[in-house]
Amino acid sequence: MATFSVAACPWEIRDGCLMVRDQVVLSRVARNITLTPLKDGAVFVGATSRSSSSRHVFNIGILRWVSSFSTVLYGLCMMKTDCCFKVWWMIPYFGDAASKVPEDTQMLLLEAREASAPASGFKGTMLTGDEDEDADELFYVLFLPVLDGPFRTSLQGTDADTLQFCAESGDPNVQTSEFSEAVMINTNTNPFDLIKKSVRILEKHKGTFSCIEHKKLPAQVDLLGWSTWDAFYDAVDRIGIEDGLKSLSEGGFPPKWLVIDDGWQNILHDTRDSVKLADVEGLKYVSRQMNFDANQKFKGSGQGKPIELREFCKSIKKKYGVKYVYAWHTALGYWGGVSPTSEVMKKYMAKIIYPVQSPGNLSHVVCGTILCVEDEGVAFIEPSRIRDFYNDFHRYLTSCGVDGVKVDDQNLLETLGSGYGGRVALTREFLGALEESVINNFMDISLISSMCMSTDYLYSAKKVAVARVSEDFMPTEPTFQTTHIAGVACTCLLAGEIIVPDWDMFHSNHYTAKFHAAARAIGGCAVYVSDKPGEHDFHVIKRLVLPDGSILRARYAGRPTRDCLFSDPVTDGRSLMKIWNLNKTTGVLGVFNCQRGGIWPPIRGAPYNPPSESEPFIILGAVSPRDVEFLGEVAREGWLGDCALYSYTTGVLSRMPKEGSLEVTLRFLGFEVYTVSPIRVFDEKHQFAPLGLLDMYNSGGAVEAMNSSLCSSGHKIEIRARGCGRFGAYSNSKPRSCSIDGKEEDVGYNAENGMLTITLPPECTLRTIAFVY
């Protein structure tokens, strides 16, 4: 019998319906479904079975006629928006009923309003998603399948619109018949507030992970980086790295951090069928790490003495000003693990085991990487020795002058849990050991996690602060360019509450470079390129990076605007992708035409049918200050609701109320970035809004603070800003004077649109700009 015990909670099961505040969310709720209340109006859904098993699928109830956005997990991550896509990532899925909820869904967000009349037999109000805009206020319902003890749960739907949750341990020996905290449900009128508060309720209740505001960030997230991957792939060597650092430095933008990606380790190709593996580019995926040393490509001689990795790192830091060098490895050392026959690696007791993918993973795109390992096995490190392995490995890297690590292939662990307590236990064991080793051996938590967008990982991440949130930027896959932007933004709805998103590298001279650069400017992420030596577009780079190598990173993870949550920006043929974020005193809004460029899920080699030059596929949309959520947080006192909107591509400055809107039209792969600055009123007559560095994609990121005061010469508005070049602000009148760090400067003023402009000196120091009225 369905049960519920606390009357104060807004959720209940009544007459076979799951209801919140007398409104039906699910009908025909199964009799074995239970509810356990949490604080702040949230509730856990659980279920009981007549028999114990390591994998259960429970019917929850019927979900139909509700406009929904679901997180799909392909394999392990977010198609899960986000549903799981492959075993590593998440991508979004859209629909209006449970039949559209894919297997392995990790988050389900519903948009709902009251219907005009209840359905027959219901003693409440049925939720629907197709009322007109004059209907009662929208509200949102969030389903978060979580970790219940050693079990990981996910959502899925049936053809009959039954919403189900699946719970699996990944180990036949880890069984149960009862779940009390399988799926968390909550509701709110603001979808972003709903997700934020729900994840924090979960953080406090479970105690197994930490939200992003409770983590220390590695310094590299605010600096320009360069990765060797797309520049060289696994042919990387020290000469190529030096060539790349040299060409970027000669262009005025020496990278401040470097990722030496796959290709630097000593590995052994250990396979039974190299012909078969070569067909799927799989040979390296069953190769094993032999020892901790760098391979021969990183050895040489100079000035009569040998050059090792240590000397190489020391040299490039001194010569090119690189502050941080990161080295790549996988969760098991290399794709195929560590060599069981290596004398160095014997102490870690590796043995060949074979991954077992869950049915949810197999229902989506299956990655060739894991297929190779399924056939050949992986040399798996004994869990009791994983701390020793990471400590020994990272201690060696530290001795070589390496400052941090990028760790790939982490979701593979969910397929290896049999005999080791299951997928959740194994993920926590390995991730805890990795976090501990990074903190002990490197400065801070200098870790970029990758291939890890499963909830096993996210809800176990206590210290790691940066993680890749998307399939790779693939320069030779034209259908991946738009899905990359849209997929990352959607994934960040959930993942952005726990980690700083890593949008992956991109090429500054790619035909989509500006498209990708603008997205990263508002993504709240690190910025790093993977250009081949000598192949750079510095015009693109300088819109993201200041001359001192720092970037204007927005404060949070960039996410879709509210009116984009339930529209498919890639395949519906009519919707623009809008992404919002906040700086310290302004908002920022990016708009992208992602249509006609890809499909869900992204598949390598998919047909590419872009519009022709003569028929440029233009989409019409609108932007508004209200697209930027929580704008009042940065507006503070003196804001009456009006905003200044500055367009990066056109240079047009507009003033409008918060509820106002501006038409925007974009061609295929077109974009626009708007700085949205609240206009504050000082002394009842002076109206002012900082815009920042006008030639940067995220201009408002240059503004650190603003305040006003009365002085002997009038009313003074002071801005703390960094960077150089054209600095702009909106003002309803021209100031009497302007100064930079106390030195009076000329100021330009356009009385027609209120634009103030001043040129900041080349030095990128934090400076004070003062306007006196």
Burial class (CB within 10 angstroms; exposed 0-12, middle 13-18, buried 19+) of 225: buried
Average pLDDT over residues 35-44: 93
The answer to which of 108-112, 132-136, 320-324, 387-391 has the lowest mean pLDDT is: 132-136
Selection from 201, 203, 222 nearest residue 444 by Cα: 222
CA 262 remoteness from chain centre: 22
Selection from 252, 253, 281, 283 nearest residue 268 by Cα: 283
- Same domain for 178 and 232, yes or no, is no
The answer to which of 83-92, 560-569, 598-607 has the lowest mean pLDDT is: 83-92
The C-alpha atoms of residue 191 and residue 206 are separated, in whole angstroms, by 22
The C-alpha atoms of residue 618 and residue 628 are separated, in whole angstroms, by 24
Q: Is residue 757 part of a domain?
A: no
- Same domain for 396 and 319, yes or no, is yes
Q: Is residue 184 part of a domain?
A: yes
pLDDT, position 119: 37
- Same domain for 170 and 270, yes or no, is no
Q: 413 near 331, Cβ under 8 Å? A: yes
Instruction: Return mean pLDDT, the chain.
Output: 90
The answer to which of 123-132, 171-180, 227-236, 607-616 has the lowest mean pLDDT is: 123-132
Q: 485 near 592, Cβ under 8 Å? A: yes
- Beta strand 147-148 with 767-772: parallel, antiparallel or unpaired? unpaired
Selection from 13, 70, 20 nearest residue 187 by Cα: 20
pLDDT, position 4: 41
Q: What is the pLDDT of residues 414-428, one digit of tens each?
A: 999 999 999 999 999
Q: How many domains does the chain have?
A: 2
Average pLDDT over residues 643-655: 97
Selection from 478, 502, 628 nearest residue 564 by Cα: 628
- Same domain for 161 and 245, yes or no, is no
- Same domain for 190 and 261, yes or no, is no
Q: Is residue 718 part of a domain?
A: no
Element (H, E) at 94: strand 89-97
Model confidence at 75: pLDDT above 90: no
Q: What is the pLDDT of residues 290-318, one digit of tens each?
A: 999 999 999 876 555 557 899 999 999 99
Selection from 106, 54, 109 nearest residue 76 by Cα: 106
pLDDT, position 74: 26
- Same domain for 194 and 259, yes or no, is no
pTM: 0.93
Report the percentage of the chain scoring pLDDT > 90: 78
DSSP 8-state symbol, 668:
T
- Same domain for 363 and 279, yes or no, is yes
Phi, psi dihedral angles at 137 (to 5 degrees): -60, 135
Domain finish residue from 446, 461, 492: 446
pLDDT, position 133: 45
> Can you give the CATH number for the domain in which 322 is found?
3.20.20.70
Model confidence at 410: pLDDT above 70: yes
Query: What tokens were used for 268?
Result: 């052994």
Domain, as residue range, for 300 = 226-446
pLDDT, position 372: 81
Q: Is residue 513 part of a domain?
A: no
- Same domain for 313 and 269, yes or no, is yes
pLDDT, position 244: 98
Q: Is residue 19 part of a domain?
A: yes
CB atoms within 10 A of CB 667: 12
**DSSP reduced 3-state for 424:** helix
Residue with tokens 């859209």, as numbered in its chain:
94
Q: 43 near 35, Cβ under 8 Å? A: yes
The C-alpha atoms of residue 62 and residue 665 are separated, in whole angstroms, by 40
Q: Is residue 601 part of a domain?
A: no
- Same domain for 371 and 238, yes or no, is yes
The C-alpha atoms of residue 230 and residue 648 are separated, in whole angstroms, by 29
Cα dihedral 45, 49, 52, 58 sign: negative
Q: What is the pLDDT of residues 448-503, one digit of tens each?
A: 999 999 999 999 999 999 999 988 999 999 999 999 999 999 999 999 999 999 99
Model confidence at 7: pLDDT above 50: no
Model confidence at 436: pLDDT above 70: yes
- Same domain for 145 and 252, yes or no, is no
Q: What is the pLDDT of residues 585-616, one digit of tens each?
A: 999 999 999 998 888 888 888 888 888 777 77
pLDDT band at 79 (very low <50, low <70, confident <90, very high): very low
The answer to which of 119-128, 566-575, 576-585, 740-749 has the lowest mean pLDDT is: 119-128
Domain finish residue from 389, 415, 446: 446
- Same domain for 161 and 231, yes or no, is no
pLDDT, position 127: 44
Domain finish residue from 143, 177, 206: 206
Q: Is residue 723 part of a domain?
A: no
The C-alpha atoms of residue 126 and residue 555 are separated, in whole angstroms, by 39
- Same domain for 201 and 275, yes or no, is no
The answer to which of 122-131, 305-314, 581-590, 754-763 has the lowest mean pLDDT is: 122-131
Q: What is the pLDDT of residues 246-287, one digit of tens each?
A: 999 999 999 999 999 999 999 998 766 555 555 446 688 889
The C-alpha atoms of residue 88 and residue 76 are separated, in whole angstroms, by 5
DSSP 8-state symbol, 49:
E
Q: Is residue 694 part of a domain?
A: no
pLDDT, position 126: 39
pLDDT, position 264: 97
Average pLDDT over residues 4-21: 80
Q: Which residue has the higher pLDDT, 22 or 757?
A: 757
